[in-house]
Amino acid sequence: MEHLDEISVEELQDALDNVEGKKPTERLLAAIAYKNGVSQEELAEWYDVHRKTIYNWLKRLDADESLEHAVANTHRSGRNRKLSETQQQEFEETVHDPPEAVGIDAPAWTPALVQQFLEETYGVEYSYPSCRRLLKEAGLSYQKPRRSAAEADEDEQEEFHEEFKKSSGRWTPP
């Protein structure tokens, strides 16, 4: 498929004068080189990208919009959140209190516990990494329990080990 049949090298060079940023500049330079006979495969080697990426860059310029706009990165909103803003806020307030405050017998919030809580409370399923992200977004940080000093009281050490077994690390407010 031939690209850029309707666009001259001069138009590409003019657009190059009007863009800012590395990616838009690279895309226009690749288009200029393509118009001057450089193959997509060779451009892919120059820019250390796949040939399909070069194809996509060139195809963008064939659109019915200004060259400056065609080479710019547009905002991509991504997937919608599973929790509404209200639910997200409620969740964040909840995890700032111990799990016991919502009737869960656990010493601290963990991603697995959050996963279970979100499914039971809001009917949404989150992956384990997403639960870690939600805890971080809520302003919590992951903290491993510190080791006990060898000279600490044996009862305190035993209590510490029991808590550690239950939580295996915890998310706590900073």
**Domain-wise residue ranges, the chain:** 9-71, 85-172
In the block, residue with structure tokens 């009737």 = 103
Cβ partners under 8 Å of residue 32, min gap 6:
9, 12, 13, 16
In the block, residue with structure tokens 């997403």 = 130
Tens of pLDDT, residues 109-163: 999 999 999 999 999 999 999 999 999 999 988 777 666 556 667 777 777 777 7
User: Which has the minimum average pLDDT: 61-65, 75-79, 145-149, 154-158?
Assistant: 145-149
Whether pLDDT at 22 is above 70: yes
Task: In whole angstroms, give the CA distance from residue 143 to residue 87.
Answer: 25
Task: List Cα–Cα distances, 139 to 6, 96, 100, 105, 144, in angstroms.
Answer: 52, 9, 19, 22, 16
Across the range 46-75, mean pLDDT stands at: 84
- The residue among 79, 76, 118, 74 whose CA lies nearest residue 95 is 118
pLDDT at 172: 59
